[in-house]
Amino acid sequence: MARKQYFLGRVFGIPVGLDSSWFLIFGLLTWMLADDYYPAEFFNWSPVMYWVMAGVTALFYFASILLHEIGHSVVALWYKIQVRSITLFMFGGVAQIEGESPNAGAEFLIAVAGPLVSFFLAFVCNELLRVFSDNPPLLALFKYLAYINLALGLFNLIPGYPLDGGRVFRAMVWAITGDLPRATFIAAKVGQGFAFVFILIGFWKIFSGDIPGGLWIIFLGWFLKNAATTHIPSS
């Protein structure tokens, strides 16, 4: 990432920062929540209240993504693998883990740690719905966070490298073949396939009338395609 980075601090000694593209997605998510989600939940709030709750919810969402990446990083550190940084950006977050895992088992655990954190957060937020059943704003907040963390965990388990599910798939191929470069090649090719599926879905949504959603999915597919391609070992 060549764009400007904003340093936030360190977690377990790992530098945590924001890529400049984060501000765009934060603004878009806040706008969507203020314009759609919270007005649908509460008809009698003031516009200021919609925007305040939307901004708070967006911040909690990105805190969830940060915890997801910390999950990967903690397991990597357990295996004595250096984590150079954690960065939040337009498409979520990324932990810059240096080097390869020592074995397929370690690769599997590092990859699956992030989704497990997201599922745990979804469970906690769902349980908090009972605690705050008499507080409508907090009820709406944790309802959204429960849903979005569940969705985040499931999305990341799609077996398209370099998504977490793709890394799990690579670990499985590595365990079967004993050949890391071959496992990486196969996982990256599968990742390219899923990226093209995303792009096709994006075009379908555009032709169905959802132009913003379709463009976003196409952009996401393009990003995943490029990410998968860079992980294909050169011959």
Asked if residue 116 belongs to a domain, the reply is yes
**Which residues make beta-bridge pairs with 89?**
92
Identify whether 212 is part of a domain.
yes
Q: Are residues 131 and 229 in the same domain?
A: no
21 plus 130 within the same structural domain: yes
Which two tokens mark 28?
Answer: 């878009």
Is 102 part of any domain? yes
Is residue 163 in some structural domain?
Answer: no
Q: Which of 124, 157, 190 is the last residue of a domain?
A: 157
Query: How far is residue 60 from each of residues 65, 84, 97, 109, 141, measured CA to CA in Å?
Result: 9, 24, 24, 25, 9
| pTM reported for the whole predicted model | 0.88
What are the strands, taking DSSP E only, across 74-219?
A: 83-89, 92-97
Positions annotated as catalytic residues are: 69
* pLDDT at residue 1 is higher than 50: no
Reported as a single tens digit per residue, the pLDDT across 103-148 is 999 999 999 999 999 999 999 999 999 999 888 889 999 999 999 9
Q: Which residue has the tokens 């957060």?
A: 121
Number of compact structural domains in the chain = 2
Residue 3 token pair: 């764009």
Supply the pLDDT for residue 204.
Answer: 93
Indicate if 94 and 139 belong to the same structural domain: yes
- Residues 183, 70 share a domain: no
Do residues 72 and 42 share a domain? Answer: yes
Residue 182: its H or E element: helix 180-207
CB contact set of 115 (below 8 Å; sequence gap of 6+): 68, 152, 153, 154, 156, 157, 164, 165
Do both 119 and 69 map to the same domain? Answer: yes
Claim to verify: residue 44 and residue 85 sit in the same structural domain = yes
Domain that holds residue 137: 5-157
CA 66 to chain centre: 9
Write the CA distances from 226 to 49, 59, 141, 162, 201, integer angstroms: 40, 28, 34, 10, 17
Could you tell me if residue 54 is inside a domain? yes
Q: What digits encode the pLDDT tens for the residues 52-108?
A: 999 999 999 999 999 999 999 999 999 999 999 999 998 888 999 988 899 999 999
> Does some domain include residue 172?
no
